[in-house]
């Protein structure tokens, strides 16, 4: 293996963590010295901005300081927002442990499709999206006396909207509305690792600031000599090189997304295995468990040649994430964590001394001219590179290997563009309308989005029927807003009533929310096996019908007890001839964790759909089923996703003297935006002969070209039928 970096020796050793009691450890965190200063400030001011290094105790400690100020909390709860569900869950668990209480009692969390709070929970960690939903139902946010907006520097879409929503609530509570309800003033704490203080001070005028110096050892930065073409390959080489040449200390590798992480995990494990001269021919089962597909993945499956390889990304269920946070097991010499930008600031990993930074992240981009959103791999900003580097200096001197040249670093943007400037704002507009904001263009945004993006979001919602021609929220729009889904998928779900297929669409939407249901291993033999296993579910009508097949097969063939029910007695009788969930998934090459997540989402969505309208539900009959009538199902899919339809490109070719032949290609053009796209290779419709004439899709992915994913076949004539106003205008 060629070397990316010069060989290097060093003598520093990792400073081991002394075993301290939790109480003592809390006192040793950098924020502790600022406790009384913080308490004074929050007592006497409405807004306090806190900045400090990751790991200094913002997320876990400051909310507890507030919680212990009984004068502030009294009959009210406090809410801490996190842009990511992983962070909300892990931080809440940590705080519950520190306070020696059960998670869901005094301390709890609230994330999409999972609520671990009870009516007396005082400290709630929530995703920013969940608090925003609450602001829609109750714009005064009257359950809370203090709201802490964490990870403010990430400038996630929902956090950005929350800044405005909190400001509105603060103002309203000072006026008669709040007084009438006898609400105390709302206080806001903004917390961040690297805050652009000026922007926040301009927005929250008169805010107090506290800057807490971090504990940071020097980190040596090493750039590559040459630009790297393949960052996965480069990350593999760098990680193995560090492992072979360097002293103890764990390695954290930053990669753009889940796929890259799982690919690299497999590559690393097989290379580590080779160096151990162990059996090279991994059996299917071993590779599957390496990939973390089984639910009862044992730790040892991830330890190869004394090295523990862990993965960390937002879609990973919390139980699986715990591996990355736990100390190395006995006999393990090194831990390698492969993570997305989630480990940049949201979570704290102990013992990291080496960073491998690919310089990439995955992010959404929206084009207001074409009205389309897509997922890109793109370069990080200089601020993010610095954050990543800092992760290596927590225990002792560290090293950061940047898989790009110093010149490339100089070309990076200084800071990350706020998400609100990059994404489809349909959901934001719907939320603002739900909160009673008349004109979203006049809403106080910390960074106002492009007015054109807001307009195209309004058009999108108008096309779905969520807004009327005066841009007022319709009854249908307020129903859409009740679902914790993107407005397009909420619309898809609501359309199912009309087509009599609510049961089926609920399944399809849940499977889509779970992401990466199908397990596609690399390696010729295995991938062939997986393809064969998947063939049994494949519908020639597309990916959504395929999801339905998978779910139905799983329901009839597998025994599954969700953690919710695990304590109830298992019904052994009904399990005869069935396989256990993990085993069924293994044999079917289906991701067990994605499947159980889909099942969870299904459960929650079903509850919202069934709940009566006057209790903020939708009062739907979820048992309405089209059973085998695929036409009804596909028509509904068409009605739900009509804004995401694409038509196959026709080409006329003169073939021979017999005359012109209309030959068709495998290229498509989107109906909205007229953008050239191709069916993604992972779709069941990829390579189908003949290629379907007209399709709808759930997602655009741009790499070198633009692909559509989640593709289902439709009839073109349906488009006029399901959305006559829209297609007659655009035609
Ligand atoms: P910040 O929000 O400033 O990045 P946190 O409050 O998340 O910091 O973490 C503060 C410290 O608490 C960390 O440095 C770590 O020592 C400890 N800690 C946080 N989460 C965990 C956890 N899940 N397990 C063990 N220790 C943790
Ligand atoms: Mg934090």
Q: Contact at 8 Å (CB) between 432 and 153?
A: no
Task: Kindly tell me the sign of the dihedral angle through the C-alpha atoms of 425, 426, 429, 432.
Answer: negative
For 3-42, what is each residue's pLDDT tens digit?
666 544 443 333 333 445 888 889 989 999 999 999 999 9
Q: Please state the atom number of ligand 1 nearest to the C-alpha of residue 53.
A: 3
Sheet-wide strand order for 307-312:
219-223, 398-402, 352-357, 250-254, 334-339, 307-312, 303-304
Q: Give 121 Cα–ligand 1 centroid separation in angstroms.
A: 21
How confident is residue 544, by pLDDT bands cut at 50, 70 and 90?
very high
Output the pLDDT for position 54. Answer: 80
For 174-191, what is each residue's pLDDT tens digit?
887 667 778 899 999 999
- Cβ of 29 closer than 6 Å to ligand 1, yes or no, is yes
Q: Is the peptide bond before 298 cis (omega within 30 degrees of 0)?
A: no
- Cβ of 57 closer than 6 Å to ligand 1, yes or no, is yes
Q: Which ligand ends up closest to the CA of 34?
A: 1
Evaluate if residue 278 carries a pLDDT over 70. no
% of the chain with per-residue pLDDT over 90: 57
CA nearest 98: which of 59, 131, 70? 59
**Residues 562, 330: Cα–Cα separation, whole Å:** 31
And the tokens for 715? Answer: 């009839």
Output the pLDDT for position 296. Answer: 35
Cα 453 to chain centroid, rounded: 22
Q: Please state the atom number of ligand 1 nearest to the C-alpha of residue 57.
A: 6
- Cβ of 686 closer than 6 Å to ligand 1, yes or no, is no
**Residues 554, 70: Cα–Cα separation, whole Å:** 50
Output the pLDDT for position 3. Answer: 63
Average pLDDT, the chain: 86
More confident residue, 523 or 276: 523
Evaluate if residue 398 carries a pLDDT over 60. yes
CATH of span 22-212: 3.40.50.300
DSSP string, 167-193: HHHHHHHHSHHHHHTTPPPPEEEEEES
Q: Contact at 8 Å (CB) between 422 and 229?
A: no
Output the pLDDT for position 293. Answer: 37
For 211-224, what is each residue's pLDDT tens digit?
998 777 889 999 99
Output the pLDDT for position 491. Answer: 96
- Cβ of 61 closer than 6 Å to ligand 1, yes or no, is yes
Output the pLDDT for position 715. Answer: 96
> Mapped to the 3 state alphabet, what secondary structure does 484-517 carry?
CCCHHHHHHHHHHHHHCCHHHHHHHHHHHHHCCC
More confident residue, 517 or 358: 358
Mutate to test the pocket of ligand 1, among 15, 24, 53, 60 (most ligand atoms within 8 A of CB): 60
Q: What burial class does residue 367 get, using C-beta atoms within 10 Å of its C-beta: 0-12 exposed, 13-18 middle, 19+ buried?
A: middle
**Residues 240, 439: Cα–Cα separation, whole Å:** 55
- Cβ of 59 closer than 6 Å to ligand 1, yes or no, is yes
Evaluate if residue 365 carries a pLDDT over 80. no
**Residues 608, 616: Cα–Cα separation, whole Å:** 8
CA nearest 356: which of 308, 388, 401? 401
Output the pLDDT for position 180. Answer: 74
Output the pLDDT for position 178. Answer: 65
Domain with CATH 3.40.50.300 in the chain: 5-9+216-419, 22-212
For helices 502-514 and 592-610, angle between their N-to-C axes, nearest 10 degrees: 140
For 293-322, what is each residue's pLDDT tens digit?
333 333 335 788 889 999 998 777 666 777
- Cβ of 30 closer than 6 Å to ligand 1, yes or no, is no
Q: Give 404 Cα–ligand 2 centroid separation in angstroms.
A: 28
For 207-264, what is each residue's pLDDT tens digit?
999 999 877 788 999 999 999 989 999 999 999 999 999 889 999 999 998 889 988 9
For 87-138, what is each residue's pLDDT tens digit?
899 899 999 999 999 999 999 999 988 899 999 999 999 999 999 999 988 9
Evaluate if residue 344 carries a pLDDT over 60. yes
- CATH class as words, domain 5-9+216-419: alpha beta
Q: Contact at 8 Å (CB) between 648 and 688?
A: no
% of the chain with per-residue pLDDT over 70: 87
Q: What burial class does residue 415 get, using C-beta atoms within 10 Å of its C-beta: 0-12 exposed, 13-18 middle, 19+ buried?
A: middle
Q: Which ligand ends up closest to the CA of 346?
A: 2
Evaluate if residue 709 carries a pLDDT over 60. yes
**Residues 537, 547: Cα–Cα separation, whole Å:** 8
Q: Whose CA is closest to atom 23 on ligand 1?
A: 94
For 550-599, what is each residue's pLDDT tens digit?
999 999 999 988 654 544 445 554 567 789 998 999 999 998 888 988 99
How confident is residue 279, by pLDDT bands cut at 50, 70 and 90?
very low
> Mapped to the 3 state alphabet, what secondary structure does 592-650 carry?
HHHHHHHHHHHHHHHHHHHCCHHHCCCCCCCCCCCCCCHHHHHHHHHHHHHHHEEEEEE
Buried b (16+ CB within 10 A) or exposed e, 85-119: bbbbbbbbbbbbebbeeebeebbbbbbbbbbbbee
Output the pLDDT for position 19. Answer: 42
Evaluate if residue 284 carries a pLDDT over 50. no
More confident residue, 275 or 563: 275
- Cβ of 416 closer than 6 Å to ligand 1, yes or no, is no
């Amino acid at each position: 293996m060629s070397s990316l970096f010069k060989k290097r020796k060093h003598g520093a050793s990792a400073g081991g963590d002394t075993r301290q009691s939790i109480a003592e450890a809390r006192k040793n965190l950098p924020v502790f010295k600022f406790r009384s200063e913080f308490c004074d400030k929050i007592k006497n001011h409405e807004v306090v901005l806190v900045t400090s290094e990751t790991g200094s105790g913002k997320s876990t400690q400051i909310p507890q300081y507030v919680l212990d100020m009984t004068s502030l909390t009294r009959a009210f709860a406090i809410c801490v927002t996190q842009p990511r569900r992983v962070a909300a869950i892990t931080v809440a668990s940590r705080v519950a442990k520190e306070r020696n209480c059960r998670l869901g009692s005094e301390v709890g969390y609230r994330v999409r499709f999972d609520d671990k709070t009870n009516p007396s929970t005082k400290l709630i960690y929530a995703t920013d999206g969940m608090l925003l939903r609450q602001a829609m139902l109750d714009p005064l946010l009257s359950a809370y006396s203090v709201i802490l907006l964490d990870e403010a520097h990430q400038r996630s879409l929902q956090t950005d909207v929350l800044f405005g929503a909190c400001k509105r609530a603060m103002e309203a509570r000072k006026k008669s509305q709040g007084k009438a309800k006898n609400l105390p003033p709302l206080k806001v704490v903004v917390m961040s690792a690297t805050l652009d203080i000026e922007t926040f001070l301009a927005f929250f005028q008169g805010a107090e600031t506290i800057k807490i110096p971090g504990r940071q050892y020097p980190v040596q930065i090493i750039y590559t000599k040459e630009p790297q073409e393949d960052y996965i390959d480069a990350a593999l080489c760098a990680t193995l090189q560090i492992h072979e040449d360097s002293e103890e200390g764990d390695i954290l590798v930053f990669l753009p997304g889940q796929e890259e992480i799982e690919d690299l995990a497999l590559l690393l494990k097989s290379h580590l295995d080779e160096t151990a001269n162990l059996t090279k021919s991994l059996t299917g089962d071993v590779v599957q468990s390496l990939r973390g597909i089984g639910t009862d993945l044992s730790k040892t499956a991830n330890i190869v040649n004394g090295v523990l390889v862990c993965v960390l990304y937002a879609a990973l269920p919390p139980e699986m994430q715990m591996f990355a946070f736990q100390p190395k097991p006995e006999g393990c010499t090194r831990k390698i964590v492969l993570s997305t930008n989630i480990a940049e600031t949201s979570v704290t990993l102990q013992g990291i001394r080496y960073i491998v930074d690919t310089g990439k992240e995955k992010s959404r981009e929206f084009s207001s001219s074409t009205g389309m959103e897509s997922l890109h791999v793109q370069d990080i900003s200089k601020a993010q590179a610095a954050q990543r580097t800092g992760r290596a200096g927590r225990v002792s001197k560290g090293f950061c290997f940047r898989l790009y040249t110093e010149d490339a670093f100089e070309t990076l943007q200084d800071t990350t563009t706020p998400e609100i400037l990059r994404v489809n704002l349909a959901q934001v507009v719907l939320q603002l309308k739900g909160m009673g904001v008349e004109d979203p263009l006049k809403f106080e945004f910390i960074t106002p989005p492009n007015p054109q993006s807001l307009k195209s979001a309004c058009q999108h919602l108008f096309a779905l029927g969520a807004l009327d021609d005066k841009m007022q929220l319709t009854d249908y729009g307020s129903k859409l807003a009740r679902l914790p889904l993107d407005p397009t998928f909420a619309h898809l779900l609501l359309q199912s009533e009309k087509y009599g297929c609510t049961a089926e669409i609920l399944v399809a939407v849940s499977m889509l929310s779970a992401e990466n249901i199908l397990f596609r291993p690399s390696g010729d033999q295995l991938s062939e096996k997986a393809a064969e296993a998947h063939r049994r579910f494949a519908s020639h009508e597309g990916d959504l019908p395929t999801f339905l097949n998978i779910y139905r097969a799983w329901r009839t063939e597998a025994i599954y007890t969700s953690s919710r029910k695990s304590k109830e007695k298992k019904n052994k009788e009904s399990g005869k001839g069935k396989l256990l969930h993990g085993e069924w998934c293994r044999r079917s090459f289906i991701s067990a964790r994605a499947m159980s997540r889909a099942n969870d989402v299904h459960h929650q969505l079903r509850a919202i759909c069934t709940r009566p309208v006057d209790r903020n539900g939708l009062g739907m009959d979820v048992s309405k089923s089209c059973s085998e009538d695929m036409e009804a199902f596909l028509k509904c899919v068409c009605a739900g996703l009509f804004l995401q339809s694409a038509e196959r490109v026709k080409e006329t070719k003169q073939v021979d003297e017999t005359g012109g032949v209309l030959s068709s290609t495998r290229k498509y053009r989107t109906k909205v935006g007229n953008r050239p796209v191709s069916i993604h290779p992972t779709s069941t419709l990829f390579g189908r002969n003949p290629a379907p004439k007209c399709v709808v899709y759930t997602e655009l992915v741009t790499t070198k070209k633009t692909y559509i994913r989640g593709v289902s076949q439709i009839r073109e004539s349906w488009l006029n039928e399901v959305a006559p106003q829209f297609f007659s205008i655009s035609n």
